[in-house]
Chain A
Amino acid sequence: KNEVEQSPQNLTAQEGEFITINCSYSVGISALHWLQQHPGGGIVSLFMLSSGKKKHGRLIATINIQEKHSSLHITASHPRDSAVYICGLEWAGSYQLTFGKGTKLSVIP
């Protein structure tokens, strides 16, 4: 069974803190997506990666293919980062994305 697990489910941080959200999966993938969903539902694609590391502003995404694990880091967190962060996987040989349940992040001023 293709499974994706995210942790933690909920995360509260003080403004300025370094944040890490984790995503683990069970079988081989062709790509991993990190998405951000704000209240109201709109989803923004943050990263798509199949190896290594990507950085965009204060956001960093890493993936370890051998360990079947990815992390999303937010440096110098800000209240506007408050959102649900979702990990989505493209399984090898499939076009669909399978999503985790998401991590709800709240950054307090």
Chain B
Amino acid sequence: DAGVTQSPTHLIKTRGQQVTLRCSPKSGHDTVSWYQQALGQGPQFIFQYYEEEERQRGNFPDRFSGHQFPNYSSELNVNALLLGDSALYLCASSRGAAGRQPQHFGDGTRLSIL
């Protein structure tokens, strides 16, 4: 039973470019959340997708956008990259419409902006 898989594992971009990160949730999970983790900090919530809709969004600018596909996989897109976007991007999946569900995390995508 595959867990949460993220791709790519590492990525290097330059300022102003655009990036797309991908996440496949754990089998049986239908909810995907994205987090940004800067070095030495806890993860920060970007947004959550359920039933192909953005259900909740954290305090991130519109440069951060996402999508969920009918097979529950998800993408995170970041436009006009800034140096401060360098971070580990984590995807977490869970099951069901309600909260209070265990979260299963992927290993993350490490994004470096030059």
Question: A residues bordering B, Cβ < 8 Å?
Answer: 30-31, 33, 35, 40-45, 48, 50, 86, 88, 90, 94-102
Partner of A86 from B42, B55, B88, B106 at Cβ < 8 Å: B42
Binary contact readout B35-74 vs A (1 if CB under 8 angstroms, 0 otherwise) = 1010011111100100000011010000000000000000
Which of A35, A96, A98, A100 has the most chain B CB atoms inside 10 A of its CB?
A: A96
In the complex, what residues of B have CB within 8 A of residue A50's CB? 100
The smallest beta-carbon distance between B80 and chain A, in angstroms, is 24
The total of chain B residues at the interface (CB under 8 A) is 27
B107–A45 contact, CB under 8 A? no
Q: Which B residues are CB-close (under 8 A) to A97?
A: 33, 35, 43, 45, 92, 103
Q: Check if B56 sits within 8 Å of A95, measured CB to CB.
A: yes
- Inter-chain contacts of B35 with A (CB < 8 A): 97, 99
In the complex, what residue of chain B is closest to A40 when comparing beta carbons? B107
- A31 → B minimal CB distance (Å): 4
The one of A41, A90, A96, A98 in contact with B107, judged by C-beta atoms closer than 8 angstroms, is A41
Complex CA gap A42/B102 in Å reads 16
Known: A41-B90, A48-B100, A90-B100. A99 touches B43 (CB 8 A): yes
Pick from B41, B43, B90, B108 the residue with the most CB of A within 10 Å. B43
- Could you tell me if B110 and A96 are in contact, using CB atoms closer than 8 angstroms? no
**Given the known A-B contacts A30-B99, A90-B99, A90-B100, are A96 and B58 also in contact in the complex, defined by CB atoms under 8 Å?**
yes
Complex Cα spacing A81 to B56, Å: 34
Cβ of B104 under 8 Å from chain A:
yes
